[in-house]
Structure formats: structure tokens, C-alpha cells
Chains A and B, each alone.
Chain A
């Protein structure tokens, strides 16, 4: 089957011009998983590789300036997981919300999706 059996050139143009939308809920979940996962892993790696007598993760622990209760310890890894997920989720939601807003402003003639 050749393509023009199914679509006219105009239809192909429509396909070529389609603009993607972002699903805010999906982006929020993905970013939340990424944010929480990355912070958990980063903390866990430092805790596992800790050398006795040496401070553990002095730089990463500075995050407690933003995340009260966070520390480079096992409990801290789980607290970081929650904080990372919250911040990541908010960032993902904001990102897609702004993106969709700009797309709708710039392409008002396009179908919503």
C-alpha cells in the first residue's frame, strides 16, 4: 500500500504540522519519580560508601537548607525521597502547564490535545 492510498497531501501537511501537548499529570508523576529517585539514590550511595571518621556527604547535606529534616543518612534518604518527589512533581506540573499555555497562545487554530 502506498501512503497516498490513505492520505492526501493536505492531510500529510496536517500531520507534519501537529504540535504535541504535554499531559501535566503524567509529567508531574514522571518528574516526581525522577526527583525523589535521584535524591534517594544520591543520598544512599554516599551513606553506603561512607568512611568511618569522615563526614558523610557534607555538600549534599546542605540541601537541608531547603528540606528541613533532610540529612545524608538512611532516614534522610527517605525524607529526601519525599521532598524530591514533591519538588519534582511541582516542577513537572509547572513545566507542562506553561508549555501548554504557550502552545495554545501561539497556535490558537490547532486542535487541543
Chain B
């Protein structure tokens, strides 16, 4: 029994069928391929998100080639960033990027970079701090901020720095500039993360692969049960005994089986179990979250719009995050000459304003935004379609790791249940790694191996360039995690005290230097009545005068005065904070911890 006709479910089904096992595949929708499907609209084909057939896993590559054979095209890749009406190469090329920015902006970027090098942010807790420390704030705000916030729906200051560190760890401006002058051909691993320049793509989009597998299964006597929604997973202790699915006519059909492969989102799988699993497992499943996705497909009465396969939209004037030009993925995606079809991708949350908007309003929005960007004339758009993809990405939030650990322990204890695929494992896998989990599950069922499917693709690195020696399944696609502040950290920030010595020292530098400079300027200027007023300071600073020796006296005694001033300020502020905190603690009706605090100033 296989629940789900996406890449993982169909891979497992075809591998099992070829090995002589009779799989039953239930697919609730009317199409196969899941998020890797190709949507057809009046003959135009739309790929949900753009799926390059590229993998470091030879086993998967061979599988693809075996199924589609010569139906694959080898396509050139071009993707650029669109910002402020200008295109930038992606991956970024420093010289080209600076040239495209213009002299003034490039100068500002340079100054911002210099500032980041001289005075980096002392903390690197979030993505903004991490990236701007390496590239300068200005470059960060152009090339990282807007797009990242669109995709993940959270501010860069809320995204943990570790994500940036993993995703762009090999890219820094100095290294990039250096690499333009010094060849490093011999060290592939050291090369800045680059993306392949060509990729394989099925003639009719990624869905062609899965439609072919569906047909192969049908021809071998194991047709995919379309429109069958698995609603109840019948359990007997720690075994699955059957699945009850509801078909399009509302008929309930019970399917029994020996092994069960699930590509269902874990949350739905757990909720469908009968009897339900323990409460802590249910709670863990309910805590899993997903990010959703919608594509506004537009048919344009013009054949050559732009040469890119896709464009990242970094402008904050529009909501669209990425634009796909499907004709550049494959010319077979367009049924009529002289026309194009593009996909405007919006990263959304199921139920939010965009997700719930009417299709016609979304199409209008798409036309307006492409027109605003200057990429397409709205008048050239002749038709449109909206494709919503719920649960496109599993969300890695602050609680998912603990929840997933609980769920994994439970699901692994169900002997004949095999979870595979992106949502089946709640892991942000690409198509190839989703397929590999299914291949491993099939091998386990056939008794050929004892793979731990949950361990596939756990390496915390994702590079798209193919290393010559890479044969295994490596490289998880990373997802940013929200920076979570503990209550202790919040209170630390709220009640942090000033270091009196540090504030004293800082004031000493400012006061001492200030007085020295004020005196020195007058001494240098000279003149008969120079410094008569400033020299009145000797009423307070014995020995001070507007002379060179006086300047040094001013430096020292100004520093002493400044130190005392700063120290006193810090002590006073700390005393007020301490009183405030003690009152708060009394209100919390717990004086004990207050007594244990180090309240020295």
C-alpha cells in the first residue's frame, strides 16, 4: 500500500512493481507528481516552482534516464536577480554587480563594506548581522534582505545566523574579488558555491516523468487509484493493517496490505491513525507547520520576453518573489508560436490574504506587478491561471526538532510503516532525495537492505555543483530557523546593567580628547586674545591653560572628570534598574531569587 502519487510514492511503486511486488497506490488528487507535477492550462504547461533534473545521486540519475530516456532535453541555465530595474547575474559576480549598481550606489556599497570591516556588528546572532558583517549592510539590503523575507515570511533579524553560515559560507567579497585575479581551478571544494550552467529537463515539464511512471504502472497491471483520499489508517498495536480511502463519489474503500508506504504529511498521517497514537505524539504532529506557495500563470502574447529560466525579484515594491519563463525551460511548454507563459511565484501561508484572494484578483495582481517591474506590458497578457500548492515546504521552526524526534521514535516503532518523501519525513528535500528515501524503503521491503530512511540527506550542506567524487546522498536543502529568545535572554536585555568602568572609560576618552582638541585648535590658530574664554576652565581644572602643556593637562584632567561622570551615571542607572527589578520580583511574589542576584554595581 502506498499513500501518495508524488515522486516518492511513484518511485517506490515502480521499484516494487519491477521487483514483482503488486503495489496499490492511492492518490487523492486527479493528477500525479505532487509538487513536481506539470499543470496544463489550455495547452500551456506550468511547472510548480521550476524543477531542474540535477542530482549528485547516481542511483536517482540512472532511474530518471531509464524512465524518460530521450525525452530529456539538456537546457542552458540563466537566472538573474532583478533589482531597481536592473538585472544582476546570479550567482553574483562582484564586478558585474558593482557595474550594474552604478557609480554612486557602488561607492555607497563600498563604504558600507568598509564600515562593516572596520566596525562589524559585535554580535552575529541573526542573518542580517551575519551577512552585513561580511558584505556590508547596503549590499545585504539589496541582494539578501527582501527576497529572503519574501520566501520565508519572516524578517532577516528573526532568522538564525547559522542558516546564512551554512548557505553562503564559501562566499565572501574578498574571496570573490581575489578569485577574479587568481585561478583556483585545482581546488573544487574551495570554489565559491556556483550553480550548474546546464540541466536536464523533460520535454513537457517535470510532470511528464510522473505521468510516464503512472502509465508504466498501469501497463504492468498496477494502476494508480486516482481521487482516492486516504482518510483512516487502521492500526493494530504497532502495525498498520489497512487504509480506508474515500473516492471521488464518496465511496469508502478499505485496502489491506503487508507494508505501508506513506508520503502523507506527518501531521495528517498521525491524525488519520485509528486508534489514535499517544497524546504526546499527537501533540508533536499538531505542532508541525508548513509554508505554502502559489503560482500565477500568465499567457503572454509575445514570444521573447527575457532569456532567463527564472528571475529572482528583489524589489520590495511587489509581492512576487520569483518569475519563471517556462518557454526557456522547454519550448514544448508553449503550444502556440509567438506566445509565452510565465509563472509568478508568491510564497504564502495557507489562509492568508493572498492565498484566499480570488483567482481573477491574483491574475490582475500578477499583470500589475509584472507591468510595474517593466518586464511585461500588462496589455500583452491574454490569459491567466492560479495554481495553489499547500504544504510546499516543511517549516523548521523552534519546536520542529523536538517534535520530529518524538514522531520519528513513534513512527519507527510501527514495524510495517515506511515514511518517505518531503512531507512524509518533514524534511526539505529536493526531488532527488525524496526519491532516494522511496528507493531505500522499497529495498527494505524487498529485504535487500536495512536502510535507515530517516538518515538520508542529513549532511548540513547543500551545494549544487557536482563534485566528481560525489556518489552518495548528501546535502540537505537548508531552511532558516527563527531566532528564539528565551525569557532569560529577554530579561537579560531588559535589565542589563551598565558597566561603570566601561562607561567611565568611554566618557574619559570623549571628554579628554574633546578638551585636548578644543585647546589644540586654538593654540594652532594663535592670536592675541585666543582662548580667553576656554582658559576660564582653569577655575575647575587647576593648571589648565590654552597652551600646548595646557592641552595635555586638559587631556588628563578631562579624562579623569569624564571617567567620574561616566562611572556615576552608570551607578545611578544601575541603581534605578535594580530598584525596578526588585519591585517586579516583589510583584511576582517571590523575593527569594532577588536575594541571590549579583546586584553589585
Contacts and interface: CB of A to CB of B under 8 A. Distances in A.
Are A and B part of the same complex? yes
A3 B596 contact: no
Interface string A34-65: 00000000000000000000000001001001
Given A12-B593, A18-B493, A113-B493, A106 B501 contact: yes
A18 B510 contact: no
B522 A65 contact: yes
B594 interface: yes
Contacts of B585: 3
Contact of A91 (B495, B514, B525): B514
Contacts of B491: 15, 18
Given A20-B498, A21-B122, A12 B525 contact: no
Contact of B496 (A4, A20, A99): A20
B446 interface: no
B505 A99 contact: yes
Interface string B485-522: 00110011101111101110111011001100010011
Given A2-B588, A98-B505, A103-B499, A14 B488 contact: yes
A14 B499 contact: no
Interface in A1-28: 1-4, 6-7, 9, 11-21, 24
A44 B592 CA distance: 55
Contacts of A96: 506
A95 B122 contact: no
Contacts of B593: 3-4, 7, 9, 12
B122 A104 contact: yes
Interface residues of B, number: 41
B123 interface: yes
Contacts of A102: 499, 501-502, 505-506
B533 interface: yes
B119 interface: yes
A81 to B, nearest CB: 19
B590 A3 contact: yes
B599 interface: yes
Contacts of B123: 112-113
Contacts of A19: 496-499
Nearest to A98: B506
B492 A99 contact: no
B596 A9 contact: yes
B531 to A, nearest CB: 9
A55 to B, nearest CB: 14
Contacts of B498: 19-20
Contacts, number: 112
B514 A12 contact: no
B505 A7 contact: no
B597 interface: yes
A4 B592 contact: yes
Contacts of A2: 588-590
A87 to B, nearest CB: 9
A59 B529 CA distance: 13
B598 interface: yes
Contacts of A97: 119, 506
Contacts of B518: 66
Interface string B565-601: 0000000000000000100010011101110111100
A15 B509 contact: no
B122 A18 contact: no
Interface string B1-41: 00000000000000000000000000000000000000000
Interface string A72-113: 000000000000000000010011111110111011000011
A4 B585 CA distance: 10
A19 B502 CA distance: 10
Nearest to B517: A66
A112 B129 CA distance: 12
A99 B506 contact: yes
A96 B499 CA distance: 12
Given A4-B592, A16-B599, A94-B509, A106 B533 contact: no
Given A4-B592, A16-B597, A66-B521, A99 B502 contact: yes
Nearest to B584: A3
Contacts of B503: 99
A65 B522 CA distance: 7
Contacts of A62: 533
A107 B38 CA distance: 58
Nearest to B498: A20
Contact of B492 (A14, A65, A95, A100): A14
A18 B489 CA distance: 9
A67 B592 CA distance: 57
Chain A CB within 10 Å — which of B498, B525, B530 has the most? B498
Contacts of A15: 488, 491-492, 495, 581, 597
Contacts of B501: 102, 106
Contact of A106 (B487, B492, B499, B592): B499
Contacts of B119: 24, 97
Nearest to B522: A65
Contacts of A24: 119
A103 to B, nearest CB: 5
A19 B514 CA distance: 27
Chain B CB within 10 Å — which of A6, A91, A98, A100 has the most? A98
Contacts of A14: 488, 492
A3 B584 CA distance: 10
B122 A65 contact: no
Interface string B187-201: 000000000000000
A112 to B, nearest CB: 4
Nearest to B530: A65
Interface of A: 1-4, 6-7, 9, 11-21, 24, 59, 62, 65-66, 91, 94-100, 102-104, 106-107, 112-113
Cβ-closest 7 pairs across A and B: A16-B597, A102-B502, A12-B593, A20-B496, A3-B590, A18-B492, A99-B506
Given A3-B590, A16-B598, A106-B499, 4 more contacts: A18-B496, A19-B498, A97-B506, A102-B506
12 contacts: A1-B588, A3-B585, A15-B488, A15-B492, A15-B597, A20-B496, A20-B499, A24-B119, A66-B521, A95-B507, A103-B499, A106-B502
Interface of B: 119, 122-123, 487-488, 491-493, 495-499, 501-503, 505-507, 509-510, 513-514, 518, 521-522, 525, 530, 533, 581, 585, 588-590, 592-594, 596-599
